[in-house]
Structure 1
Amino acid sequence: MKLALILLAAGDSRRFNGNKLLHEFNGKPMYQSIIEEVEKLPDDLFHRKVAVTQYQEIMDCMMDRGYEVVENRESSLGISHSIHLALQALENEETDYCFAVCDQPYLKAATIEGLVKGWQDSGKGIGCLCNMGALGNPAIFSRSYLKELLSLEGDVGGKRIIRKHIVDLYLHEVADGLELVDIDVRKNTQT
């Protein structure tokens, strides 16, 4: 089965007091961190790369780097809306889905690759990163979970499905918990 990468970059950054994805982090806009890590991965790891965003600067950058871009004009509907938009863009594709967020600037390419390969070898339907019991992104869902992903509503993401199907979950332990940190408030952006 093929695996599509879906980058979610449409959030409103309410707690951040400004657009966190465009906020400078280590000398570049925060969202670029994951793009640079993905570019270090083997070309055949993901057969398609989709980005969902509401921001023109991110759309332009992602298109320049080979992503299919889906515009989210209703980000107030929550992360579930971004998930639905990405799945609609992939609806005619026999693929599994790897969802990643663009506010985890410490995430490394080797961790993403380890998650994908470990999940593929596990035979499980879902996979995600974890550190000492805490679940984190990216998260992978086999196509068999498409209906449940499409049933998500509001600002609810894949963790609801993960918790419901623990027996079908592959956990990829990350040694450095910093990789799982997503930046939600400005005080966390000091490097």
Structure 2
Amino acid sequence: MKKNTKIGVIILAAGASSRLGYPKQLVEFKGISLLQHSIDVAESLEFDVKILVLGAKEDEINKKINSRNFELVINENWEEGMSTSIRKGISEALRIERELEHILMLLSDQPFVNKEKIQELIRVQLNNNKQATFSEYAGDVGVPAIFSREIFSELKKLKGDQGAKKLIYKNDFQFGTVHFENGNFDVDTTADVELLKRMEEE
């Protein structure tokens, strides 16, 4: 990371995992939970602010993870969708460090996210001076992604289950991408968990 560039990270982990039936944040891959993996990856880098947003079953999840140096934020409105976690996370990050220039967002169920990919996202964002840099996978874009300060206000306007990807449809929105192999693999169903277990054995 460039010196004197203030960057925060937010892990969005407030969802109820309704299709799975139990917290996907706690599904294990290679000996640790998916959420702990996201936390550990972020902890391996130097961020100025670290925010973990929990919501559904936050007591159960919090007891089974080591949140390390993350500021824990509880989204009591998690049922209203991902936008509420994004808004809550950004507000808390800026409360802690009002001079943040970029915010990186991670999810709690992407087992193949790693330090090198996050470093690449940050490097591309800082070098290209775009409003955002998204991961690109399977012909689509998504998180992990990093956003510049100038669009924090736009992120805070998201509603319902809208994610940050909605911004790419704005005519004046400028963004870059970084290819992320297997980035589209996340855990939503028991079939996903079973596939993850098979991948673990390979």
| Alignment TM-score, normalising by the size of structure 1 | 0.88
**Unpaired stretches in structure 1, ≥5 consecutive residues:** none
1:17-56 map, 5 Å: 17-41=21-45, 43=46, 46-54=47-55, 55-56=58-59
CA-based RMSD of the aligned residues comes to 1.9
Task: Quickly say closer, same or farther: Cα 1:165–1:36, change in 2 above 3 A.
Answer: farther
Q: How many residues align?
A: 185
1:135-146 map, 5 Å: 135-146=141-152
Indicate the residue corresponding to 1:94 in structure 2.
Answer: 99
Residues in 2 aligned to 1:5 and 1:37: alpha-carbon distance in whole angstroms? 11
Indicate the residue corresponding to 2:154 in structure 1.
Answer: 148
| Amino acid in structure 2 at the alignment position of 1:76 | E
SS of the residue aligned with 2:123?
helix
| Displacement after TM superposition at 1:166 (Å) | 7.2
Deviations 1:1-48 (A, max 9, x none): 41100000100111212211122333322211212222333x3xx211
Residues in 1 aligned to 2:66 and 2:83: alpha-carbon distance in whole angstroms? 21
**Unpaired stretches in structure 2, ≥5 consecutive residues:** 198-202
Structure 1 runs, 4 residues or longer, greater than 4 Å off:
none
Indicate the residue corresponding to 2:113 in structure 1.
Answer: 107
Residue 66 (structure 1) aligned with residue 69 (structure 2): yes
Is contact 2:134–2:144 with CA below 8 Å preserved after alignment?
A: yes
Residues in 2 aligned to 1:66 and 1:118: alpha-carbon distance in whole angstroms? 26
Percent identity at matched positions? 30
Residues in 2 aligned to 1:119 and 1:56: alpha-carbon distance in whole angstroms? 35
| Alignment TM-score, normalising by the size of structure 2 | 0.83
| Amino acid in structure 2 at the alignment position of 1:52 | V
Indicate the residue corresponding to 1:161 in structure 2.
Answer: 167
| Amino acid in structure 1 at the alignment position of 2:53 | V
